[in-house]
Amino acid sequence: MARFPKKVAIIGLDCAQPARVDQYAKEGYLPNIKKMIEGGVFAENCLVPYPTVTPPNWTTIVTGAWPGTHGITDFHVHRPGDPLDRVHQGFTTEDCRAEYIWESLDKAGKKVIVFNYPTSWPPKARNGIVVGGAGLTPNEWRVGDDLPGVRSKVGFCSEQLVSTSVLPSSRKVEFKEAEGWENVPKSSGDEDLEGEFRLRIGSGKYKVDPPTWYLLVQDSAGKGYDRVTLSPTKNFKDAFFTISRGEWSKKVYTDIQIAKGEVKKVHFRGKLLELSDDAGDFRLYLSALGIEDDDYVYPAELSKEIHSEEGLMAFNGGYVAYALDLIDMDTYMEVQHFHDLWLGDVATYLLKNKPWDLFSMHFHAPDWFYHAAMTDLDPLTQPDPKRRERALNAERRMYQNIDEMIGRIMEVAGKDTLFMIVSDHGAVADGPPFNPYDALVPAGLAVLVDKMREWETGGNLADHAKYIVDWKKTKAYPQRDLYIYVNLKGRDPDGIVEPGDYDKVVQQIIDTLYDYKDSKNGKRVVSLALSKKDARILGLYGDCVGDVIYALDPIYGAQHGQQLPASGLGPGDQRSIMIMYGPGFKKGYRLTRTMWLTDIVPTICYIMNWPLPKDAEGAVVYQAFRDPNIIQGHIESLQKSLDSMEKALSRGERQPWDKHDCA
């Protein structure tokens, strides 16, 4: 192995937890990650900025800047001067005030590939490659003020179920005797049945007239209905697939007209989840329909090269269908595998065929999984040992899928590459929610008018975001995951608090939060409340944060976001995974000192002798190097070489690099 890396690959695993990954690696389930841990540096105390959520922390990783500096200070962003109840998702580079590492490398003539990295769109690496970045998966879009809550748009449409029952995110179908079908192979049993449905476009970014697809149900062996055919017409020769119970279809490609004269090729798979002998109970799962050749790629013409033989653009990896109880855990993990396979195929293609010095990518699978199953992993929240065992098996399987993809990337990237495996936060089991209005209203700091309609917030925000306040009587407004704003006159459009009373109201908010107790057990819910001035210790400051910042005791709130970076509960932990593997780094070393996500970019730039992004604030993790003074040694070696050249030239000796004599 070379003394210095030649390239760098940052592989992000959203929400991956260090202790869980370490355990599975030791047990032999994750051979590639085990190789990295045993041959590199495993940071046991890598902390993330607060809040412990996706957009700010992935931004910190590639800028080396704290959220207060780069400006993406939560999952949602509030622009100064906007009404306090107006926010948007923090996935656009237009909200980032700090320089990305790929910007500084771009200026230095280096080549970068940024793949499925949240908050990297629109592209800022003009001479590099950017695939996705406006959401959690390629061709998912969370950019724009027309996407309230956590809604997104996808190209082409999300997953769906076709069923004889009325189910969420589904199309109901009724079967009748089949008529008018052509080229149908003869079946052995009862009469063939047919049904039809219109494709559910849902969150698709293209406004289209949904096509009608047809189902043919057959009894192949005279023992009851046992197979289904999906087709865009009533001609069997046009069928997408024919499958039996529990079977996945092959990967299907089909053309769909999205505008007059414009057609997009989409891909998907189907799985027949249920088909009773009499066809009374029927459930067919269709994965998301993805468009590979679309406008989520820079340079745009590169999208024509993106392809995976078996993988799927599964925009939420099957998580939503599982959360709605439409599919079981096994099917969920299968969908996730298809999605990881797509990411792995595209990543390895780019690494093999495009020039690069820095490669940055992100897998979102762990985050989806922990949202779906973290509560089942914790004995405190899941007393059923069978459900815990099922969740443990799925967790292991989820990491195995990722480990396989990492192995493929390692092989293609080469042994002289520095690999950094990192996550943006961890997770704990769901706890009781905290509605700050429960504290603010009794204290006279806020006055509620009504609850907003669900569609106005997307139905996915915290409870407090669904309320309308009386702005003429409200002094304190809770916003996003962790902020409370003083409704300040002269700054906020509906402000009523005089600037001279600002500090008094801030202190009143803090006292109120600390005084609030859980009515069921008398326990204090808020573990920390700070003024904006004091919150600088958390990396939160400036005009993109609230006037009061608070954090919850880990037993309250959702899996992540409102718990402090070093907190944990049961098997869950909010710390980041951090593995450094490559030339110049120690082998089998457990780094126990505290490091932060802000330290990643400075450490990379130090070992690579790359220009540091101008807003980076982190430190170099010298303890990770085999030689903490490795760069000084490199400089001294270069100086000796230069001295030797100078002496040789002074003696008039011809040098090996001389191609011809100079006059």
Q: Token pair of 600, please?
A: 């990643």
pLDDT tens digits, 324-352: 999 999 999 999 999 999 999 999 999 99
Q: Token pair of 609, please?
A: 């002798």
Could you tell me the pLDDT band of residue 635, with boundaries at 50, 70 and 90?
A: low
The answer to whether residue 303 scores a pLDDT higher than 70 is: yes
Cα–Cα distance measured from residue 92 to residue 349, given in angstroms and rounded to the nearest whole number: 26
Residue 112, strand partner residues = 358
C-alpha torsion sign, points 496, 498, 503, 507 = negative
pLDDT score recorded for residue 187: 84
Among 361, 298, 348, residue whose Cα is nearest residue 129: 298
Cα–Cα distance measured from residue 299 to residue 313, given in angstroms and rounded to the nearest whole number: 20
pLDDT tens digits, 278-298: 999 999 999 999 999 999 999
CB proximity list for 31: less than 8 A, separation 6 or greater = 403, 407
Please tell me whether the peptide bond between 493 and the residue prior to it is cis, using omega within 30 degrees of 0.
no
Residue 486, strand partner residues = 476
Amino acid at the residue 403: D
Could you tell me the pLDDT band of residue 456, with boundaries at 50, 70 and 90?
A: very low
pLDDT tens digits, 209-266: 999 999 999 998 889 999 999 999 999 999 999 999 999 999 999 999 988 889 999 9
In sequence order, which ranges of 467-554 are alpha helices (DSSP H)? 502-515
Q: Token pair of 542, please?
A: 């400036």
Residue with tokens 């006292």: 511
b/e map 292-306, b = 16+ CB within 10 Å: bbbebbbeeeebeeb
Among 443, 437, 498, residue whose Cα is nearest residue 469: 437
Average pLDDT for residues 108-133, to the nearest whole number? 96
Judge whether 443 and 505 are in contact, CB under 8 Å. no
Least confident of 59-73, 255-269, 303-317, 590-604: 255-269
E-state strands within 270-340: 270-275, 282-286, 289-290, 297-298
The answer to whether residue 660 scores a pLDDT higher than 80 is: no
CA angle 481, 69, 505 (to 5 degrees): 50
pLDDT score recorded for residue 457: 40
Amino acid at the residue 654: R
pLDDT tens digits, 13-55: 999 999 999 999 999 999 999 999 999 999 999 999 999 999 9
Higher pLDDT, 649 or 23: 23
pLDDT tens digits, 582-611: 999 999 999 999 999 999 999 999 999 999
End-to-end CA gap in the chain: 42
- Residue 408, classified by CB atoms within 10 Å of its CB into exposed (0-12), middle (13-18) or buried (19+), is middle
Residue 255, strand partner residues = 265
Q: pLDDT averaged over the chain?
A: 93
- Residue 522, classified by CB atoms within 10 Å of its CB into exposed (0-12), middle (13-18) or buried (19+), is exposed
The answer to whether residue 430 scores a pLDDT higher than 70 is: yes
Cα–Cα distance measured from residue 561 to residue 239, given in angstroms and rounded to the nearest whole number: 46
pLDDT tens digits, 144-185: 877 888 999 999 999 999 999 999 989 999 999 999 999 999
Q: Token pair of 252, please?
A: 């299907």
Cα–Cα distance measured from residue 57 to residue 119, given in angstroms and rounded to the nearest whole number: 10
